[in-house]
Amino acid sequence: MTTNPTRKTLFIALFALCLSGFILPEGRQIPVAGATYKDWNPSSFWYTPWGRSGVHKGIDIFAKEGTPVVATTSGLVVYSGNIDMGGNVVLILGSKWRLYYYAHLKEISARAGQWLNTGAVLGTVGSTGNAVGKPPHLHFAINSLFPLFSQYDPKLPQAWKLMFYIDPNAVLLNTD
């Protein structure tokens, strides 16, 4: 009996992807080219009240429209397209099984199924979605696929959701 090479290749690729979630180092690159920590408000993560979502589940990195947006970490692009609130967005599955969310992009250059290395351009800063009419910026958020029970704080709004979000400020400044 012979093994189907396509099936074998797919199995090896899936195994490598699963393993990479545990062994890939987490990126620390600021996702907007040329930006520094001075280009966002570190206190804006989980700030309330915040529009329709209730709390701000990421940070907004302000830059000139069209500035390149780069992958903070290596990973697989699992979504590339347009959604209501985020506008043009890219979602990358990266290290530690975390989802890296890049929103309000003017243009998208990454495609679903594509592997991006840290620093690869995935789009440009814009003001799409619910950021129309606001200064151009990148909304950047990091989600965990698994609950982080230590983050649960019943005193905070949407406390159960906080268990699935990681403060991007802490990751980018290497304080997490």
Residue 83, SS3 per DSSP? strand
User: 87-113 pLDDT, tens per residue?
Assistant: 999 999 998 899 999 999 999 999 999
pTM (2 decimals)? 0.85
Burial 59-95 (b: 16+ CB within 10 A, else e): bbbbbeeebbbbbbbbbbbeebeeeeebbbbbbbbbb
Question: Is the CB of residue 43 less than 8 Å from the CB of residue 56?
Answer: no
Sign of the torsion formed by the C-alpha atoms of 75, 80, 84 and 87: positive
23-172 maps to which CATH number? Answer: 2.70.70.10
User: 140-155 pLDDT, tens per residue?
Assistant: 999 999 999 999 999 9
The domains of the chain are located at 23-172
Average model confidence (pLDDT) across the chain:
88
